Amino acid sequence: MGHAQSPDILGPPWEAETITLPPDDEGPVVVTLVRRRAARPTGRAVLHVHGFADYFFHTEYAAWWLERGYDFYAVDLRKYGRSIRPHQTPTYVADLHEYFADLDVAWWRIVRRDAHDHVVLSGHSTGGLTVPLWADARQPPELAGVVLNSPWFDLQGAPWMRTPLAGALLERLGRAHPHREIPRDVSGVYGRSLHVDHGGDWEYDLGWKPVESYPVRLGWLRAIRRGHAQLHAGLSVLAPVLVLTSASTLHTAEMSDDAHTHDIVLDVPQIRRWTTSVGPHVTYVAIDGARHDLVLSRPEPRQRVYDALGRWCGAYLT
């Protein structure tokens, strides 16, 4: 399992480690572990996992943890961001369990190589689904807590899409035509609400996090729905869990001020409904005025996010 470290695109003191994993049906696979150390060693660390059509660039979020003595790690999963290779279909996996290998190698480096014994897992959106699935399967003793930022706990949209008939059809089509794109209308409003070039507050690589997102493929959505089913059946993540969402959802294809103050990607009531399926010790907090990625919200709701995170850390991360 080869690997190479280099300065990260974020600049010093950020480092990136490219880790070679076994190939899949498209060829060679890598995962990238990004790291920044706190001012002094404490044995504490955070591992963050991004969402769909995303990658790690959230340096303010990292700084919040670094200031509290946590070394900060983030993984760009296979076929995302720093880990995309020319021969690959960006974002595609046929099974969310493929990501377990990515998280396994990251965890080994954080816990065994770098000697952390108190690690917080952090996941956003699709990463917020993958993280509890992995934590439930692995039950690592070093896991101190889990922070889920707008986790994707169910399929948003019309009710028929969540029926057994729709699920059976997706199973069949996803197996027969896994790489076929699913037609959908993407307004790009969410991407425009974030990026500085379109009136947002954040600068990032639009090649890795496109305004219009990436195509959704049948095999990938089949993998997501299987992950949802596993979550809905009940997980047993024993560490304390914090689930954060916006206070409300807005379905819109038009840019307006409201697009900046609601979750315009996922369905907040769905997330709230399935929160207790993660484990026995879950705290849920809704943040008024927050975007889908809460740590990319406007300053006032973003401060409320950090205030809630601070209260939870003070109560449960000793």
The pLDDT of residue 2 is above 70: no
Of 27-36, 177-186, 215-224, the least confident: 177-186
pLDDT digits (tens, 9 = 90+) for 306-316: 999 999 999 99
For each of the domains in the chain, give its residue range(s) and CATH number, in order of start: 3-316 (3.40.50.1820)
* Angstrom distance (rounded) from CA 144 to CA 22: 29
pTM: 0.96
* Angstrom distance (rounded) from CA 272 to CA 270: 5
Give the pairing type, strands 27-36 and 71-76: antiparallel
- How many residues in total does the chain contain? 318
Under 8 Å between Cβ of 117 and 91 = no
Residue 217's nearest CA partner among 258, 178, 254 is: 178
Under 8 Å between Cβ of 214 and 90 = yes
* Angstrom distance (rounded) from CA 308 to CA 36: 24
Quick one: average pLDDT of 235-250? 98
Q: Where do we find the tokens 């028929």?
A: 160
Question: Left (φ > 0), alpha (ψ -120 to 50) or beta: where does 147 sit?
Answer: beta
pLDDT band at 3 (very low <50, low <70, confident <90, very high): low
* Angstrom distance (rounded) from CA 80 to CA 82: 6
Q: What secondary structure letter does DSSP report for 112?
A: I
Query: Three-class SS of residue 49?
Result: strand
Query: Three-class SS of residue 31?
Result: strand
* Angstrom distance (rounded) from CA 106 to CA 88: 21
- What count of Cα atoms within 13 Å lies in the side-chain half-sphere of residue 116? 29
Please state, rounded to an integer, the average pLDDT across all residues of the chain.
96
Structure tokens at 180: 């076929």
pLDDT band at 4 (very low <50, low <70, confident <90, very high): low
Residue 146's nearest CA partner among 21, 240, 6 is: 240
* Angstrom distance (rounded) from CA 174 to CA 63: 40
pLDDT band at 5 (very low <50, low <70, confident <90, very high): confident
Full DSSP string of 239-269: S-EEEEEES-B---SS--GGGGSSBSSS-HH
| Greatest Cα-to-Cα distance within the chain, rounded to the nearest angstrom | 55
Quick one: average pLDDT of 281-309? 98
Under 8 Å CB-to-CB from 176, ≥6 apart: which residues? none
Alpha helices in the chain (DSSP H): 59-66, 98-108, 126-138, 164-176, 189-194, 218-233, 268-274, 299-316
Please, what's the b/e burial string for 142-163 (b: 16 or more CB within 10 A of its CB; e: otherwise)? Answer: ebbbbbbbbbbbbbbeeeeeee
Quick one: average pLDDT of 161-173? 94
Q: What percent of the chain has pLDDT over 70?
A: 99
